Structure 1
Amino acid sequence: MELAQRIGRSARHLAGWLLVVALFYSPWDEGGTSVSAIRHLNWILGSVFGLWMVGTLSLNVGRRREGESYEGRQFRSWTLLGLTAVLLLLGWGMALNARAIFDDDYAFFLPLSAPVAAAPGAVDYFLSVALMWRVTALVGCIWVMASLSQDERWVLRIWWAIGLAGGSIALLGLVQKATGAQMPFWQTPEEGEGAVTTFFASYYYHGNAGAYLNLALPAVLGLAYRYVTRSANPLARALWLTLSVIIMVAVASDTSRMGQFLAGLMVLVLLAIFARKSFRSLRHLEMKTALLALVVGGLTTWAVVRTSHLDRSLGRWERFRSSWTQDARWVVDRIALEALPQAGALGFGPGTFSVVFPTFLHDVDPRDQASWLFLHDDYLQTLLEWGWIGGALWGAVFFGGIGVAVRSLMNKQQLALWYSRQQLFLPLAVVALAGVALHAAVDFPLQISSIQLYVATYLGICWGSGRWGKGKAEKLKVER
């Protein structure tokens, strides 16, 4: 029915625009690290998934009643469905069958009567349930983005949203450095507390800021390339050239060494990927466009570098040689490895690392017994919380998405049916995910909700790419 189709299209469009809002909102709300920021993001993503479900069901019902097929732009993946269903079943099963609640005041586990005594359960009910709400919302985000990406218009909209949000965070961080801010958003430290030395922009920890900037960096550079090498609005060219310079200077200004290293590596990879195409495009570049690029890039670089305190960032590299072997993270990583056999196949429960890990630190130097909310290795923390079965499922969702994207890019027949924006954006998504995958080996970016949101968005694009061009292919068959 026409009404059902109208409702379906409206609901899906609203879901897409609400996802755009989430991409802007989450990094600006304390980097998505506070309890309130996580709760708000969960509600937004839950609404996104609900609207998408309403839209999808309405479109299917309306077209079936009219006898039309709705296969062209519909996303389906039995592999992703199986992986995410088992993952959610495992996580919720552990959370709802929890064996205890951790008492922070007395550092004691209060036993609970598990619904299924013979089945395994998490060591803390509240922490596991809280994380599973977030995991469920993020899994929904992957599905929504995979579906939206079948429409090339939404690919560009999400691309712009990631680029603009990342550029705005980069600009915020540089302005704060230029003005000598002591805390994010120019807050004043409480009496008796010093300035926060590890923050950048809205992130209290520079490592998370670096990981976020690196997720946005390929999108920003890709948009600059897109609008410089084609006939486009001069304002769009100036915007993305400016944001490209700003985000690269922001990465250099942020004191995360791993973030800087990976940013340089990603830029080299992108240059290698697009070198031949760039050379062909730049040969036909208009003189006024080239001059605009030089002027905008030069002025922006001069203005930003003068005020961004790059000397502090470079100073951390000078201290790296003498300090890296004494970093406490290597000590706790070794302890985490030794604890893996006790985690077993299903782990201690989603989100329980902060209450479980201190029980393994009794024989460690007191200086290393700080409060470890996260391990500086996302892979080890995932294995401790989810076990090797859950870890394998997460790995299949993450690296499986990258694999689908790479396979799609290597299929020349399928690639020929894509729009140019899809051909350009998918390699950028793969590079961004590869960067955060490397960063996760020495830090905890995948524990931060705003970064998780961007990773889920990129994964949705990667999984969705497996069906790109199918609508065109079916249309061509009908016409023949």
Structure 2
Amino acid sequence: MTSHGAGDGTAEERPRPLVLRLADTLVIALFFAPVALAALPMGANRDWAWAPIAVAIGLVAVLVALGFGAGKGFEVGENERRPLLVLIGCYVVFVAFVLLQGASFAPASGSAWLYAAALRILGRAHAAVPDIAIDVARNGLLKCITCGLIFMMARAICKERGHARMLLVLVVASATLVVTYALIMQVTTHSCYVGGYLKKQGTYDPQGQCLMSGTFVNSNSFACYAGMGMVAAMALIFAGRRRGPAAGFDGHDLQTFEALLTGSRVVLLALAFFLLGGLLLSASRAGFAAGMAGALALALLLMRGRWRERPDLVRWFLVGAAIVLVVGAIAGSALLAKAVRAEESGTRIIIWLTALDAIALSPWLGWGLGGFADIYTILQPASVVQPNDLAHSTPLETVVELGVLAAVPAFIVVLLPWGVSLRGAFRREYRHRVLPAAAFAISAVAILHSMVDFSLQIPAIGFVVSALLGMGWAQAFSRGRPMQAAAAA
């Protein structure tokens, strides 16, 4: 596995020495390992878990910047230049604004009265700054920088289709490990433990039941990750390993049932249903909806322009949809039981309304990255007894913490690569369509789920989504010629 394949270029290149090729392979492995394994230590949602991963990613980024593993991945094509400049500009603005929020020379904001109250009560206080939790903001910024490094390395490394496909394989493998662990914990502790961590208040009751969450602390993030793995398995089924003629497989060929059911596809199909089972057992309504939306998006992108030409694929699509409905009806009892309980939804709406109040108090400079927990504690309604440190909506929490204006470049940093992946899925020829479509659809699971939860704020999910968006960006642009429109429907 090396990043120095022939690619789409026509010029002959001198092969790299064996030692350098081995170094490339090692660096690529060091990049993939922390991204794929981040979900295992409690979703990397503790300082002791994500901090070492961030350090490892930083060290690997230095090696990649020195030329190991990336090959020609850092080359920028004409079509790519402008969106990449916009992306880098928005990211720089985001980082600069977060630093400004913690600076004493920042303009007065909604937090000024808090620092004045602290001075009056304690006799001394820190200089008034927009950020009300500077230490938390520092940690959040480090996570964001780690995601940025992962994106840039994935963009360089995953220009090779083999590396891009390897990323999908690792996502499936990682999700499978997480769901397997969830089943073990379900049998042994009724899902009330993650390692030695008790997920419920009080003592452990052998007769008690907790929602399945695997290596994650909460079932919703677990459902999101299982859904991402399921969509990745579907993408690999479509991608296959077929080696066609020079023109490649264009999606027009009719294939028999026997030709489709290769050994690898059967394994991937089994894993997809295994991950679907974990998704259903998590009882996460939003996770299930986001997973189904990602799967549907992938199927529609790959079927675009093929509905009349490929009746065999249409039949497979309908059969797959029917199987999912049957499995959902049989195994979705926990999901349905949770759906009829409205208490959680009512509390979440109160949290969102409180977040809007926080935005109104400091609309332009926000409360600082990671400051939602503190401002919510101050504004928490008396009707809500349980403490809460997250808005259960990543876009809404972003506006609370960064303010209305600075939230825009933060959104662009995520949505622009997502849109580029979608554009690649639309405009690349069929044989090059699967990978950007997979990047868009798998990322869609986490992005859509984060509209009503906080999946993207879980480091393990954020790291994987960053890698997928980098891969989708790389695969959306052709190295040898401009992107070509797919055959018209």
- Tell me if both proteins adopt one fold, taking TM over 0.5 as the criterion: yes
1:313 partnered with 2:349: no
1:448 partnered with 2:458: yes
TM-score normalised by the chain length of structure 1: 0.77
Aligned to 2:273: 245
**SS of the residue aligned with 1:55?**
coil
Alignment partner of 2:388 out of 372, 377, 395? 372
Contact 2:281-2:331 at 8 Å conserved across structures? yes
**SS of the residue aligned with 2:293?**
helix
1:108-151 CA-to-partner distances (Å, cap 9, x unmatched) read 9997655xx8xx54222211111111111111111111122222
Distance 1:236 1:351 in 2: 43
Question: How has the CA–CA distance of structure 1 residues 186 and 409 changed in structure 2, closer, same or farther, with 3 Å as cutoff?
Answer: closer
Give the letter for the 2:96 counterpart: L
Aligned to 1:208: 221
1:334 is displaced (CA, Å) by: 0.6
Give the letter for the 1:31 counterpart: G
Alignment partner of 1:39 out of 19, 40, 51? 51
Aligned to 2:398: 382
1:20 is displaced (CA, Å) by: 1.6
Give the letter for the 2:382 counterpart: D
Question: How has the CA–CA distance of structure 1 residues 177 and 112 changed in structure 2, closer, same or farther, with 3 Å as cutoff?
Answer: same
1:147-206 CA-to-partner distances (Å, cap 9, x unmatched) read 222222211111111121122222332343345534345648597344572341111211
Alignment partner of 1:148 out of 122, 147, 157? 157
Aligned to 2:471: 461
Gaps of 5+ in 1: 61-68, 285-289, 475-480
1:393 is displaced (CA, Å) by: 0.9
**SS of the residue aligned with 1:140?**
helix
Question: How has the CA–CA distance of structure 1 residues 331 and 423 changed in structure 2, closer, same or farther, with 3 Å as cutoff?
Answer: same
Aligned to 2:287: 259
Question: How has the CA–CA distance of structure 1 residues 20 and 184 changed in structure 2, closer, same or farther, with 3 Å as cutoff?
Answer: farther
Distance 2:291 2:378 in 1: 36
Question: How has the CA–CA distance of structure 1 residues 389 and 8 changed in structure 2, closer, same or farther, with 3 Å as cutoff?
Answer: farther
Aligned to 2:139: 130
Question: How has the CA–CA distance of structure 1 residues 432 and 70 changed in structure 2, closer, same or farther, with 3 Å as cutoff?
Answer: closer
Aligned to 1:342: 361
Aligned to 2:347: 328
Question: How has the CA–CA distance of structure 1 residues 473 and 328 changed in structure 2, closer, same or farther, with 3 Å as cutoff?
Answer: closer
- Choose 72-81 or 399-408, whichever is displaced more: 72-81
Distance 1:356 1:401 in 2: 31
**SS of the residue aligned with 1:471?**
coil
**SS of the residue aligned with 1:146?**
helix
Distance 2:47 2:190 in 1: 24
Question: How has the CA–CA distance of structure 1 residues 88 and 11 changed in structure 2, closer, same or farther, with 3 Å as cutoff?
Answer: farther
Alignment partner of 1:167 out of 168, 171, 176? 176
Please tell me the root mean square deviation across aligned C-alpha atoms, in Å: 4.3
Distance 1:272 1:212 in 2: 21
Contact 1:11-1:51 at 8 Å conserved across structures? no
Give the letter for the 2:336 counterpart: L
Distance 2:307 2:20 in 1: 40
Distance 1:17 1:75 in 2: 27
TM-score normalised by the chain length of structure 2: 0.75
1:23 partnered with 2:35: yes
Aligned to 1:478: none
Alignment partner of 1:79 out of 63, 86, 90? 86
Contact 2:421-2:469 at 8 Å conserved across structures? no
1:79-114 CA-to-partner distances (Å, cap 9, x unmatched) read 2221212222222333465999x99xx9x9997655
Contact 2:229-2:272 at 8 Å conserved across structures? no
Distance 1:150 1:223 in 2: 17
Distance 2:232 2:70 in 1: 33
Give the letter for the 1:372 counterpart: N
1:348-367 pair list within 5 angstroms = 348-361=367-380, 364-366=381-383
1:55 is displaced (CA, Å) by: 1.7
Contact 1:429-1:458 at 8 Å conserved across structures? yes
Contact 2:191-2:210 at 8 Å conserved across structures? yes
Contact 2:424-2:437 at 8 Å conserved across structures? no
1:392 is displaced (CA, Å) by: 0.4
1:217 partnered with 2:230: yes
The share of aligned pairs that are identical, in percent, is 15
Distance 2:466 2:133 in 1: 26
Question: Of Structure 1 and Structure 2, which has the larger fraction of its residues in helix?
Answer: 1
Gaps of 5+ in 2: 1-13, 242-254, 484-489
Contact 2:231-2:438 at 8 Å conserved across structures? yes
Contact 2:213-2:220 at 8 Å conserved across structures? no
Contact 1:73-1:151 at 8 Å conserved across structures? no
Aligned to 1:65: none
Distance 2:457 2:481 in 1: 39
Question: How has the CA–CA distance of structure 1 residues 237 and 110 changed in structure 2, closer, same or farther, with 3 Å as cutoff?
Answer: farther
Contact 1:11-1:52 at 8 Å conserved across structures? no
Aligned to 1:272: 300
1:89 partnered with 2:96: yes
Give the letter for the 2:43 counterpart: G
**SS of the residue aligned with 1:259?**
helix
Contact 1:42-1:134 at 8 Å conserved across structures? yes
Question: How has the CA–CA distance of structure 1 residues 324 and 55 changed in structure 2, closer, same or farther, with 3 Å as cutoff?
Answer: same
1:58 is displaced (CA, Å) by: 10
Distance 2:148 2:414 in 1: 11
1:419-438 CA-to-partner distances (Å, cap 9, x unmatched) read x3x42121122122333222
